[in-house]
Amino acid sequence: MLRIRCPWCGERDEVEFRYGGQSVAYPAEPGALSDREWADFLFVRDNPCGWWRERWVHSAGCRRWFELWRNTETDEVA
């Protein structure tokens, strides 16, 4: 089980959190995107091996969103 450090509540078990996915910037001009570009924005994400920046929400605690770095090979959290 992962131990995740919430910036507001401290270290907790991963069952208190929900994964929010890859940090992706919202398109600057969303109206200018084609259907294909929207589909890519919504559904296509990287699948790296190694350190990765992710979004998480402390759903069983303070309910705040935050970003953390996680190693996808070892599940080490920074």
69: β partners: 53
What was the pLDDT predicted at 37?
A: 94
What is the per-residue pLDDT across 37-76, written as a single tens digit (0 to 9) for each?
999 999 998 888 999 999 999 999 999 999 999 999 998 9
Superfamily of domain 3-24+35-71: Folate-binding superfamily (3.30.2270.10)
**How would DSSP label each residue in 12-72?**
EEGGG-EEEEE--PPPSSGGG--HHHHHHHHH-----SSEEEEEEE-TTTT--EEEEEEET
Q: Which two tokens stand for residue 7?
A: 């910036």
pTM, rounded to two decimals: 0.75
Q: Note the pLDDT of residue 22.
A: 84
State the Cα–Cα distance between residues 61 and 74, nearest whole angstrom: 25
Domain locations in the chain as residue ranges: 3-24+35-71
- Would you state the pLDDT for residue 63? 97
- The per-residue pLDDT for range 8-40, each reduced to its tens digit, is 999 999 999 999 988 788 999 999 999 999 999
